[in-house]
Amino acid sequence: MPIITRLDRMLAHRKMPLKELADKVDISVVNLSNLKTGKVRAIRFSTLEAICKALNCQPGDILEYQPEAD
């Protein structure tokens, strides 16, 4: 998939454990972990907004487009 999540990078940069972010965003640790590892196919804008607010970042800090090789 050409969209890569960089949530792990932002968590490390902010020195925030996954559990703390899950509590702030009000999402389960399992769902957040799936997002972190790229196992999800979609994310709601409201969830993305809450994550960005909690981490004080932009959506582009969390999501990255990487084209697939032809």
Half-sphere exposure of 6 (CA within 13 A, CB side): 18
User: Each residue of 36-68: pLDDT tens digit?
Assistant: 998 998 999 999 999 999 999 999 999 999 888
Structural domains in the chain?
3-65 (1.10.260.40)
User: Can you give the pLDDT at residue 69?
Assistant: 79
How far is the C-alpha of 70 from the C-alpha of 43, rounded, in Å? 26
User: Each residue of 15-32: pLDDT tens digit?
Assistant: 999 999 999 999 999 999
Residues 6+ apart with CB under 8 A from 65: 2, 3, 4
Does the structure show a pLDDT above 70 at 1? Answer: no
Q: Which residues pair with 5 in a beta bridge?
A: 63
**For the whole model, what pTM was predicted?**
0.89
